[in-house]
Chains A and B, each alone.
Chain A
Amino acid sequence: MNIVNQMDLNFPAKSTNESFARSAVASFVLQLDPTINELADIKTAVSEAVTNCIVHGYGYSEGTVYINVKITDKGKIVIKIRDKGCGIPDIKQAMEPLFTTAGDERAGLGFAVMQSFMDKIKVSSTVGKGTTVTLEKNIIRHRNSSGGADLGHGE
């Protein structure tokens, strides 16, 4: 699996940046010619992960959200979203639908959305150190039987 393109995006953990972050990732993914639905799924999942960094990871204190997006030669996108915030003590419990530590206005559905809108999700977290969520989605499917997507390896 070769990486044909990638980008990094770091920004302060401010809620104004939620819309910027999901739009920026969506713009980067456009080069794979995704469907409107695939793009909407990615935007929603990125919004969930970034919001979690801001709301839970940093809990409104200052910090930076780190995003890395990779595109592979198989047309897969791998999005890593990371904070250096409080960490998650029990990942399994955190990922259960409706589980929330944030009170009445949060549904506890962020991880459920990421799970169902993306092909794969991985969460790693250390209490006091931070959390990394890795989201994967295959954009070019069934394009040709040899499996290699033509991404045009231009200069």
Chain B
Amino acid sequence: MEITYENEIMTAFLKGEIDHHTAAPIRSEIDGKAESMRPHVLRLDFSGVKFMDSSGIGLIMGRYRQISLLGGSLEVVNIPKNLEKIISLSGVCSLGVVK
């Protein structure tokens, strides 16, 4: 997974299929980097995600909590059309993180 850091914004470019199996390494990589970089904004870019189940929602909510604890905020960007259904069902939009 590509992770960039620029102007206090850390962006993780998520790729492929997000399920319970693949979410674990994604989570630990993002959390590890965020803890050392302490970004103002953690941005999750979903443009490369082909499939996601509720594990992806858990991943978003978990990162929301983690970055809030570190004093930063979360942005979720570039949700592909085919993931809109699960994103809207999840209610994560009410967190104000989906851009």
Contact B54 A105, beta carbon cutoff 8 Å: no
Tell me the B residues contacting A by CB distance below 8 Å: 17, 19-23, 27, 51-55, 57-59, 61-62, 65, 82, 85-86, 89-90
| Given A104-B62, A106-B58, A107-B90, A113:B20 Cβ within 8 A | no
| Given A104-B62, A107-B57, A47:B19 Cβ within 8 A | yes
Nearest CB of chain B from residue A94's CB, rounded to whole Å: 14
Interface of A is mostly: helix
Count of chain A residues with a beta carbon within 8 Å of a chain B beta carbon? 25
Of A48-56, A125-133, A143-151, which stretch is located at the interface?
A48-56
In the complex, residue of chain A having the shortest beta-carbon distance to the beta carbon of B59: A105
Of A1-9, A13-21, A61-69, which stretch is located at the interface?
A13-21
Tell me the A residues contacting B by CB distance below 8 Å: 15-16, 18-19, 36-37, 40-41, 43-44, 47-48, 51, 54-55, 104-107, 109-110, 112-113, 116-117
